[in-house]
């Protein structure tokens, strides 16, 4: 195996990619490296991976990080409403990483981006070249800039949609919170969504990292599971696998957002509205890479159910 560096190796997608890269056989020393801000505990580290510390916001800490690396898999990003922080990691950090890759003559660069760069919907059966990105948030705007830098360097960009699975602290937890705040579905849950389980996405990333000839340099690809679900269908699966209450009622989006405003929480009205419009994308990459998209959403949610049950259980404050 050519040497691979995974950037963001303790993140949701990065850690899954490391497991996929090492799952079929233990790697030889130095074959699979992970750039992390802090070395994980032994119990959380992926066996066989060499962890190296560095910070995308500190170019000096990245010096020689790509030495001897054949493939760079960039899974790190900052997600928040703070544009300065997003720019520091997603844009400036990517440029610093690309500079090191160029110095080390890295052969292949893969960036994990997001379909959120397309901005507001509806998006229906969208191909990679059908719609011009129009990001609507600081996170997606700066991630699009990272894409442009990687493409200019001859790298390849993957855009997954909503990602779920063990380690997901945003998508399913957000849906669960919204169901608690407003026991109804916006637009009756009709919106059709592209999804992908993190383990399936990770297998795709590992396949592309090992066999880069499947995707030409300087190209963009969707990484969504071919089977889409409506929001109501997805919530029904959550009801089956996580014992969440599935609302029968639906509300027009404006009425839903009004109700949501009266029950404050972590998930914003903007984020909730994204689940009320079609967001599904054509993804021929699975067949092109000769990689199965996996057993399907019901199976993957069932596999992740123990993690979600623990993550969604309210914690009792210490001392009470």
pLDDT category of residue 25 using cuts at 50, 70 and 90: confident
- Compute the average pLDDT of residues 17-28: 89
Residue 299 lies in a domain: no
CB neighbourhood size of 216 (10 A): 10
* Residue 189 phi, psi (nearest 5): 75, 25
Residue 187 lies in a domain: no
Residue whose structure tokens are 């893969």: 110
User: Does residue 316 register a pLDDT over 50?
Assistant: no
Residue 178 lies in a domain: no
Residue 175 lies in a domain: no
Q: Which domain holds residue 47?
A: 4-163+195-226+279-294
pLDDT category of residue 30 using cuts at 50, 70 and 90: confident
Per-residue confidence (pLDDT) for residue 149, from 0 to 100? 98
Residue whose structure tokens are 């195996």: 1
Residue 268 lies in a domain: no
User: Does residue 167 register a pLDDT over 70?
Assistant: yes
Residue 308 lies in a domain: no
Residue whose structure tokens are 């990689």: 291
Max CA pair span of the chain: 58
pLDDT category of residue 317 using cuts at 50, 70 and 90: very low
- DSSP H helices in the chain: 12-22, 83-86, 94-103, 138-152, 171-181, 198-210, 231-242, 253-261, 269-274, 285-288, 297-312
Average pLDDT, the chain: 94
The C-alpha atoms of residue 27 and residue 48 are separated, in whole angstroms, by 6
pLDDT category of residue 152 using cuts at 50, 70 and 90: very high
Is residue 71 helix, strand or coil? strand
CATH number at residue 54: 3.40.50.720
* Residue 279 phi, psi (nearest 5): -145, 80
Per-residue confidence (pLDDT) for residue 1, from 0 to 100? 60
- Compute the average pLDDT of residues 153-167: 97
pLDDT category of residue 183 using cuts at 50, 70 and 90: very high
Residue 164 in tokens: 């779920």
Per-residue confidence (pLDDT) for residue 319, from 0 to 100? 39
- Compute the average pLDDT of residues 55-70: 97
- Compute the average pLDDT of residues 250-263: 97
Residue 113 lies in a domain: yes
Number of domains present in the structure of the chain: 1
pLDDT category of residue 190 using cuts at 50, 70 and 90: very high
Residue 188 lies in a domain: no
């Amino acid at each position: 195996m050519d040497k691979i560096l995974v950037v963001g190796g303790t993140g949701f997608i990065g850690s899954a990619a490391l497991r996929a890269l090492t799952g079929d056989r233990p790697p030889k020393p130095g074959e699979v490296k992970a750039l992390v801000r802090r070395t994980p505990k032994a119990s959380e580290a992926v066996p066989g991976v060499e962890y190296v510390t560095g910070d995308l916001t500190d170019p000096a800490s990245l010096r020689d990080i790509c030495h001897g690396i054949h493939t760079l898999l960039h899974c790190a990003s900052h997600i928040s409403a703070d544009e300065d922080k997003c720019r520091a990691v997603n844009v400036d950090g990517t440029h610093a990483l690309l500079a090191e890759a160029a110095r080390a003559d890295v052969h292949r660069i893969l960036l994990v981006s997001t379909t959120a760069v397309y901005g507001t919907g509806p998006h229906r059966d969208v191909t990679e070249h059908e719609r011009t990105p129009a990001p609507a948030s600081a996170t997606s705007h700066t991630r699009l800039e990272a894409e442009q830098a990687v493409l200019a360097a001859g790298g390849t960009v993957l855009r997954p949609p909503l990602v779920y699975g063990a380690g997901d602290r945003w998508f399913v937890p957000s849906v669960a919170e919204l169901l608690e705040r407003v026991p109804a579905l916006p637009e009756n849950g009709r919106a059709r969504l592209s999804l992908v389980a993190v383990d399936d996405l990770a297998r795709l990333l590992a396949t592309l990292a090992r066999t880069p000839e499947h995707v030409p340099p300087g190209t963009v690809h969707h990484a969504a599971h071919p089977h889409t679900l409506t929001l109501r269908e997805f919530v029904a699966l959550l009801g089956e696998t996580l014992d969440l209450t599935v609302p029968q009622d639906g509300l027009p989006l404006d009425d839903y957002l009004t109700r949501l405003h009266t029950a404050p929480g972590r998930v914003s009205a903007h984020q909730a509205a994204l689940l009320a419009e079609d967001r599904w994308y054509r993804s021929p990459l699975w067949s092109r890479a000769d990689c199965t998209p996996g057993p399907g959403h019901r199976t993957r949610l069932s596999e992740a159910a123990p993690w979600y049950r623990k993550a969604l259980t309210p914690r009792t404050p210490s001392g009470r």
